[in-house]
Amino acid sequence: MTEAKSTKVKSIIPFDQPIKIALLFFHFIGFSIWYGGAVIGAEASATFPVMAVVSGVLLVVRELYKDGFVWLIVTEGALTIVKVALLVVASTLMRYEVPILSIVILCGLLSSHLPERIREKLIVGWGYYQ
């Protein structure tokens, strides 16, 4: 297999790990309360869907800054874009909220637990992103 090398050096973000952990924390809290409320049929505050979507978008921006736009065409990036788009759709289509959020969970499990060689595989063209 060939490897796709980025033409740009990966950007370094000061305090990247604490920023990522904080964003993931807010994303997890926002999504968990949103999903839990949707499953039990409770009227939830709009705070939690907003928290999930905003933190998801910020996580995407972080990855794009670090890796460049090539991140959008690797498996991990594509799954993440699908998740964020589905979060936006779920926040507007309340009738289908639970099934859509369930698909988001499935995409999240795939994007975080796939082997690295699959997560970094280019979905457009051939090879892997390093």
Instruction: Tell the burial category of 8 from Cβ atoms under 10 Å away from its Cβ (0-12, 13-18, 19+).
Output: exposed
pLDDT digits 0-9 by tens, 54-70: 998 899 999 899 888 88
For residue 50, being part of any structural domain is answered with: yes
For residue 5, being part of any structural domain is answered with: no
What predicted TM-score, i.e. pTM, was given to this entire model? 0.79
Number of domains in the chain: 1
Cα(123)–Cα(120) distance, integer angstroms: 9
pLDDT digits 0-9 by tens, 70-116: 888 888 888 888 888 888 888 888 889 999 999 999 988 888 888 88
Instruction: Tell the burial category of 47 from Cβ atoms under 10 Å away from its Cβ (0-12, 13-18, 19+).
Output: exposed
Give the residue numbers spanning the domain of 26: 14-129
For residue 6, being part of any structural domain is answered with: no
What the block records as the tokens of 118 is 């699959």
